Every structure is written in C-alpha cells, then in structure tokens.
A and B are shown apart, each in its own frame.
Chain A
Amino acid sequence: MVEIVIDEDACVGCGSCVEDCPNDVYEMDEAKNKTKVVKVEDCMACLSCHEICPAQAMEHQDIHVAKRLYIDRSVKDAINRII
C-alpha cells in the first residue's frame, strides 16, 4: 500500500500537486496553506507530483520504482562521492 509523507516545513502551499494529480489524491488544507493527502488509495505512483513540486516536499513509500537505465552509472557514482 502506497504511503505519501508530506514535509509540511518544506511545502510552500503552491497547490501544483493538487492541480497536477489526475486522481485527486491531494487537497489544499486552507487553514494551514499546505497540501494534504486525502485519497492515498487512488495514488498510482506516477510521481508527477514529485516532478512538479518546487520544494521536493513529498515522499512516496512502498511503490514500484521504475527502472532508470538512462542514467550513467559513472556520473551517478561521481555525484554520490561529492554529495
């Protein structure tokens, strides 16, 4: 079962994820001006919300992570050494 964790300190309340999600998984919490997860059962883990979120405020747990064979392993290793 997918679990979505929102980092409320990072969320800037732009609502991009609410607009972008095709399955209405998110809603704006007007009182807090932050996004909140309302329909996690409809999340298909497309991760469009990750791509659109300017604050990288969300984390999807227990999902199928697609293969990323397009990444250069040598570049990835070099970046890992720096970070």
Chain B
Amino acid sequence: MNGEIEEIRGTFKPELIPAATGGNIDDYEKALHTLMKFVGSMSSALEQVSGRGANAIVYQAGKRMGHEASKLMEKTDDLEKAMGELSEVLGQEFYFEMWKPSSQDNYTVERGDETEVKLLFMDCVVRQTLRRTGLPQKGPLCYLLYGYIVGAVEEVMDIRGKLDIDHIGPNACLKTLTIKWSGK
C-alpha cells in the first residue's frame, strides 16, 4: 500500500549466508538515501566542530580504508599498472580513468623524484552524497576519497603519495596523484 509501511513476516532461522536479503529496489533506494543523509550530516557537523581539522580526520579514515582494501592486491612499481589495480579496488562506485590534456604525450609526468598522473573521477558516491544533502564539493567528505586513493596507492606501490583536486564538476572531478619515489 502506498505510504504505509509493509511489514515482512516469515520464519527466521540461523544460516551462514541468507538465501534472500529481503526488500526490493525501493527499499535499497531509501536505505541509500538515508545513509547519504547521515554521512552528509556527520560531515557538516564534523566541519562545524573541528573546522579544517575535519579534513585531516576524514583523510586519515579514508587512508586506513585504502590500506585495508588493497592489502591483497599485487604489489607493483609500475604506476599505470597500479592505477589498474586501484580501479579494481575502487570498483564501479568510484569509476575513474587516467586523463591528459591533448598537448601532453603521456599520462605520467616526471618532475624530479616525483611522478604525477591526472585521474578523472566520473562516478563517485561521495559526489552523489553531497548532491543529495546539498553540501558543496571539496569539503571534508571529499577527503575520504583522497585518503582512500592515497592509502591504496601506498599499499600497492609501497610508496608515499598525495592527491590534489584540480577541478570539481557535477559529472566528473579531475585530481592529480603525485607519488614521491624517494619516499620508498
């Protein structure tokens, strides 16, 4: 019935992997939107209380997630291969590709003992959460993704990295990943 909560009644018994998750796409949509609201509220409250320190807290949380998620990935020194592995770790919800302006020949740019690569994030659940909650981009929540990427790259390449935002947009965000070879 419309507007009323439909109760699910049935038998429940302990099982290792439930045969059914319960709920349909509408339930998933509502749960996702509620979670987006929670996360958005937490992010803005964190910013209100901790100021710019909020970015560091969220970055650290993301970094930990990145290290955890990439623990089983194959270690490599090849940045482009690492990006491929990173893409697997991040999955469809953080779909990205390496990007370069037409005037540049290669995706990677060497600057002394540093290598830079531009990453174009097309699908991003953080961006979607911000749009759902009406929060601006480039805030603390975006630092979760920076931390995640840096943590994953550090884990896969065993090297120090950092991520900077070049540009944010409603459909894609461009970021520069810098890795420092001397940080190995």
Chain A positions within 8 Å of B, measured between CB atoms, are 22-23, 39, 41-42, 44-48, 50-51, 63-70, 72-73
Q: Which residue on A lies nearest to B28, using beta carbons?
A: A69
Please give the number of chain B residues whose Cβ is less than 8 angstroms from any Cβ of chain A in the complex: 28
Complex A-B: 17 CB contacts under 8 Å: A42-B102, A44-B167, A44-B172, A45-B122, A47-B170, A48-B169, A63-B171, A66-B124, A66-B172, A67-B123, A68-B128, A70-B33, A70-B128, A70-B131, A70-B132, A72-B33, A73-B26
User: What's the Cα separation between A77 and B105 when bound, in Å?
Assistant: 45
User: In the assembled complex, which residues on chain A have CB atoms less than 8 Å from the CB atom of B166?
Assistant: 22
Chain A binding surface SS class: loop
CA of A72 to CA of B95, assembled, Å: 22
Q: How far is the CA of A44 from the CA of B176 in the complex (A)?
A: 14
A77 to B141, CA, bound (A): 30
A-B contact count (CB 8 A): 68
By Cβ-Cβ distance, the 5 closest A-B pairs, closest first, are A46-B169, A70-B132, A47-B171, A48-B169, A22-B167
Picked from A39, A41, A45, A70, the residue with its CB within 8 Å of the CB of B172 is A45
Q: How far is the CA of A62 from the CA of B26 in the complex (A)?
A: 30
B102–A46 contact, CB under 8 A? no
Contact B172 A47 (CB under 8 A): yes
B41 to chain A, nearest CB (A): 15
Contact A66 to B122, CB < 8 A, known contacts A22-B174, A42-B101, A47-B172: yes
CB distance from B158 to the nearest CB of A (A): 30
The B93-130 residues at the A interface (CB cut-off 8 A) are 95, 99, 101-102, 120, 122-125, 127-129
User: Could you say which of B36, B95, B168 contacts A70, with CB atoms under 8 Å apart?
Assistant: B36
B29 at the interface (CB under 8 A from A): yes
Beta-carbon contact of B131 and A23 below 8 Å: no
The residue of chain B having its C-beta at the shortest distance from the C-beta of A48 within the complex is B169
* B173 located at the interface, meaning its Cβ lies under 8 Å from any Cβ of chain A in the complex: yes
Q: 1/0 per residue B16-47: CB within 8 Å of A? A: 00000000001001001100100000000000
Residues of A within 8 A of B129 (CB): 70
